[in-house]
Amino acid sequence: MPGTRRTLLVIGVVAALIVASFAALVLYQTYGPITFDFQVQVAYQGPWQVSWTSYWGGPAPPSQVGTGGYTGTGNSSRIVSVQISPGDYDRGGVYFCTQASKLDNSNGTLTASVYTVNGPYPLEMRNTSAPSGSATACGGLYP
């Protein structure tokens, strides 16, 4: 009899692990990664550089999610995607900041804007006319 109990116990543990794995897979598929898309726009006739950083949960960043950047000349618009995992849902969304900097000494106006993708209005728009100046625009999205 002791061998039978042990066998039943092993079968029970294996069955519980299979059920737990299946439940985790279903939860991941149901609540799979969320992608937050931000549109970064730069309006400036000269050369510029953009850097961006994304955070969890608002302007007081408790943790950084991602960073990136690129350079260009003239007006530009680019979509930046920030992806979160299912375990991060409870952190309250994504806060996104972009800084556009002039790479010349012009007095022309550089404008940096952050939009939601397909959003008609910017989350924030900032500009500078200072030679070699920079402008920072930020905004948040929530699940």
Assess whether 10 and 49 both reside in one domain.
no
Average pLDDT, the chain: 79
Assess whether 137 and 82 both reside in one domain.
yes
| Cα gap 89→142, rounded to integer Å | 9
Assess whether 1 and 56 both reside in one domain.
no
Assess whether 68 and 94 both reside in one domain.
yes
Assess whether 43 and 102 both reside in one domain.
yes
Assess whether 21 and 85 both reside in one domain.
no
Which tens digit of pLDDT belongs to each residue from 27-61? 555 566 778 889 999 999 999 999 999 887 655 55
Assess whether 72 and 108 both reside in one domain.
yes
Question: Strand 64-73 and strand 47-56: pairing?
Answer: antiparallel
Q: How large a percentage of the chain has pLDDT more than 90?
A: 41
| Cα gap 76→121, rounded to integer Å | 16
Which H, E and C letters describe 30-46, residue by residue?
HCCCEEEEEEEEEECCC
Which tens digit of pLDDT belongs to each residue from 53-82? 988 765 555 677 889 999 999 999 999 988
The whole domain housing 78 covers 34-141
What's the domain count of the chain?
2
Sequence-ordered list of residues with C-beta below 8 angstroms from that of 98, at least 6 positions apart, any chain: 38, 40, 50, 51, 52, 80, 112, 114, 136, 137, 138
